[in-house]
Structure 1
Amino acid sequence: MNIRQQIKQYKPFNAQETKDQEMLLRYMDTFDNLLTRENEFAHFTASAWLVNEDFSKVLMVYHNIYQSWSWVGGHADGDSDLLHVALKEAKEETGLSNINPVMEDIYSIEILGVPAHEKKGKHVSTHVHLNVTYLLQASENQSIQIKADENSDIGWFGLNDAIEASTEPEMKVVYKKLNDKLKEIQIG
């Protein structure tokens, strides 16, 4: 199933996801280059809410550009298999070798504003990330390591502690939503 079909069939969790689903589909109908950064206004990213075995903790990295504790993830860079992108980025950013999807389906969707910044000595203009999030799982017993060109620290956080650790108000809202969804999975 292609990414458009996956997003169209996705069941939104709240009003934010309902509106973002509508906008994601509209972007996909308007632009044909959303899988690459060639589209400097909007492009796809894949993120991971990377939890431990009993869903009580999430692995966060201290992101160098945003100077905040953050989930892991990255740009699609032409790969239409966004679950593959989320898994690849999670492994690269954490040093974990064994990460598995809790489910293959999309866990969450967000359109995220990215402020202008410098990256590798070049200016990156304000743009949006068309983000698809996957729920991934790994053992806390595995060794972890920072990816120095992207993050400067890494650690397991209790679910509420992960929200508190973020210094980005808009991301606190996203992380709270991800935790709320996680509670429903545990109950269900």
Structure 2
Amino acid sequence: MSDRLKEQIRAYRPVNEQEERDKELILRCLETEKDIFTRENHLAHMTASAWIVNEQRTKVLMAYHNIYKSWSWLGGHADGETDLLKVALKEAQEESGIRHVKPVSEKIYSLEVLTVDGHVKKGAYVSSHLHLNVTYLLQAEETDVLHIKEDENSNVAWFPLEEAVAASTEPWFQEHIYCKLNEKLNYWNLK
């Protein structure tokens, strides 16, 4: 268990009720659930996402996710790693091909508990479950060559901020996650 991550989550200041409630649930699960950093916990497990912006913070890098049939942020399962910033950076590179990516800050950018509907992955059924997600704000170079990760996505592209939200076909993510992440850029741009 990562005491450092728990301290970071405890110190995180939620910006809305969704983040307040999700922070409480994530901390409760970190305290009570076994195998929370692996997929062995079939009810809920830790994940990390990246809201990847260009240097000017006018565009977001997104991938077209094969399972959800939607443009979405990049990220993935902790798979035993308790340093979720490391997970977010690794997933960003693996899912998009970008090489010049760095954290805008090592602080948590956002918290979410995400529902995942049952689906088939690599020929096996995966039951519905929760992703206890920590999001980090990353910055990448638009000039990096982009590559898809065929087993997860079928396209990767930069979108202007508003178009990134509109590109998603998942209304809950549009309204509760992606709009929030874009709005937070105003605060982070002041730093």
- TM-score interval, normalised by the smaller of the two chains: over 0.9
Residue 177 of structure 1 corresponds to which residue in structure 2?
Answer: 180
Residue 148 of structure 1 corresponds to which residue in structure 2?
Answer: 150
TM-score, normalised with respect to structure 1? 0.98
**What CA RMSD, in Å, does the superposition of the two structures yield over aligned residues?**
0.9
Residue 122 of structure 1 corresponds to which residue in structure 2?
Answer: 124
- The 5 Å alignment of 1:38-49 reads 38-49=40-51
Moved over 3 A (4+): none
- The 5 Å alignment of 1:29-40 reads 29-40=31-42
Segments of 5+ residues of structure 2 without an aligned counterpart are: none
Residue 96 of structure 1 corresponds to which residue in structure 2?
Answer: 98
Residue 106 of structure 1 corresponds to which residue in structure 2?
Answer: 108
- 1:90 maps to a residue whose letter is A
What is the CA distance between 1:4 and its match in structure 2? 1.1
Using the alignment, how far apart are the partners of 1:27 and 1:142 within structure 2?
A: 38
CA offsets, 1:147-185, max 9 Å, x none? 111100110001110000000111112000000101222
What is the CA distance between 1:81 and its match in structure 2? 0.3
SS in 1 for 2:100: coil
SS in 1 for 2:42: coil
Using the TM superposition, name which of 20-29 and 76-85 deviates more: 20-29
Using the alignment, how far apart are the partners of 1:115 and 1:160 within structure 2?
A: 26
SS in 1 for 2:76: strand
What is the CA distance between 1:28 and its match in structure 2? 1.3
Using the TM superposition, name which of 13-22 and 79-88 deviates more: 13-22
Task: Report % sequence identity.
Answer: 56
Using the alignment, how far apart are the partners of 1:94 and 1:111 within structure 2?
A: 24
Using the alignment, how far apart are the partners of 1:32 and 1:6 within structure 2?
A: 20
Segments of 5+ residues of structure 1 without an aligned counterpart are: none
What is the CA distance between 1:30 and its match in structure 2? 1.3
